[in-house]
A and B are shown apart, each in its own frame.
Chain A
Amino acid sequence: MRDVYIIGTGIHPWMGFSEQVFADFAAVAVEGALKDAAIEWQKIQSIMAGIFIYGGNAGHLSGQYLESIFGETGIPVVNVYNACATGSAAIRMAFNSVVAGETDTALAFGADVSPKGFLTAKSDNAVQDRDVIRWKMGGMPNPIYWALECTKRMAKYDTTEEDLALVKVLMSEYGSKNPEARFKKAYSLEEVLNSVYVCEPLRLFEICPVSTGAAALIMTADEELISKADNPVKINATTMGSAIYGDPTIRISALSCPSVAEAPMLSESYSASRQAYEKSGIGPEDIDVLELPDNSSWHYLVYLETCGFCGEGEADKMLRDGETRIDGRLAVNPSGGFSSHGEALSAQAIWQVIECANQLRGRCGERQVDGAKVAMAQTYGLMGNSGTTILTV
């Protein structure tokens, strides 16, 4: 296997709804990645694109639309959707193409424009798409799923409402230090605990909204390009996982779950992370920086356990003891996380990897983790799909 390095990254900063088209956002991110890598567009030998599901034909063929903006060159362009892990899938395909020697230099990108109003069912066929049932009859927006799991957690372990609020306090502190964060206000514990409940025990400030944003990264095995790059970052592993039979988690859009656990919670993320540890030979104890999917405060806690950074029910203690702070044993979400950015569906997994790369390249200013050498980005996608990427310098 040959070594693959990230040599250029770019983002369009996260924001709210926009009238602009998604391809314009994607172009900003890709332009940034090309400049960072200091390479010409013609050096890109394949494009792995995350699709924009609300963009119709253009969104479903986002790679082709992007390619035509920069100039069509006949290279392979593949478009992929894996819900919130869409970007992970694009990165993994780009990596596999390069590592196998099919191409030397690949681009992975995703761009998403937050739809106006609420995200609900995308079809009207309840037999085919049970998402229709949860919206028409279940009355269950996404945070309800997280609240149902959070209630179970609080009964099983000693997780408190203060723990949930403390996650937001930390995330907002980091977000305030990140010039590219969408939400830059730092909140006190009291302010978070005074925010209204959306679905108990989760409060308004403890769940993330949807955003508009784009992210792109260029990876290569071309030694000349690597040697010219500014602090290239090695991709040690980038994996995708799906769920395992008997996973007791109630997955978004499902209406039922097993009552007897025969697999770990969030088994898709368990699978993705364990594959990454095995492939890279790097374990949780080696990791300095972790970007995890804090869709809610519950996610922040459970992901530390799912990915093996502590035992089950021990994440609250890690948080309270300051072990997850920027200066702690494991810096968790120094970017400010989804809490400070919101979700930009097909872009967010790539953005998480870029944040990790920026930490390893020493580019993070006030939120920089001192001496960061190993970083991990972990995603969480709808209906059992997840990705893990481990990077080193």
Chain B
Amino acid sequence: MENMANTVARIPNLVDWSTGEIRLMSAKCNSCGTYFFPREHYQHRPGCSREGVEDVLLPSKGKLASYTIQHYPCPPPFKTEKKITPYGIGLVEFEEEKIQVAGIITDTDLEALELGMEMETTTLAMYSNEEKQQVVTWAFKAAK
């Protein structure tokens, strides 16, 4: 993992790198077993007691369940200093957690994308803020 010391997520509580690995911040309901992303996107099974929801990190790696290549810039409030179009968006499956998470695909040959390939969670540098910090979003790249 590159040096993330001067890095900040554009919106907090979505992506974590405090463990030395970049991982998505999810929550798990210990009553119905459902994982949520973002953490506040509660989607309990009907009849669940909703007790024992705990914050968890998703594994760093998952499988590409779907993808698309976006050919136009995403309108504001999305912003990046560098032009990123065309960019990939992937739906990455975390099998044990039974959840698929969407995110931008970076550092990957878009022509070589294939369903089922292994992807790892990373960050994408968006811009630097007034405090000269690198502002990032979560992203996925082909696993090495």
Contacts and interface: CB of A to CB of B under 8 A. Distances in A.
A54 to B, nearest CB: 15
Given A130-B40, A148-B89, A137 B99 contact: no
Interface stretch (A149-157, A208-216, A314-322, A338-346): A149-157
A144 B104 contact: no
B66 to A, nearest CB: 5
B53 interface: no
A255 B77 contact: no
A132 B100 contact: no
A135 B78 contact: yes
Which bucket holds chain A's interface residue count? Answer: 35 or more
Contacts of A254: 41, 102
Nearest to B75: A118
A260 B95 CA distance: 9
B137 A138 contact: yes
A200 interface: yes
A250 B100 CA distance: 9
B87 interface: yes
A151 B75 contact: no
A139 B66 contact: no
Contacts of B77: 120-121, 132, 135-136
Given A137-B137, A155-B115, A255 B66 contact: no
B69 interface: yes
Interface in A330-380: none
Contacts of A120: 75-77
Contact of A256 (B41, B66, B67, B70): B41
B66 A151 contact: yes
Among A118, A196, A200, A259, max chain B CB count under 10 A is at: A259
User: What are the 3 tightest A-B residue pairs by CB atom distance, in nearest-first order?
Assistant: A147-B68, A118-B75, A137-B137
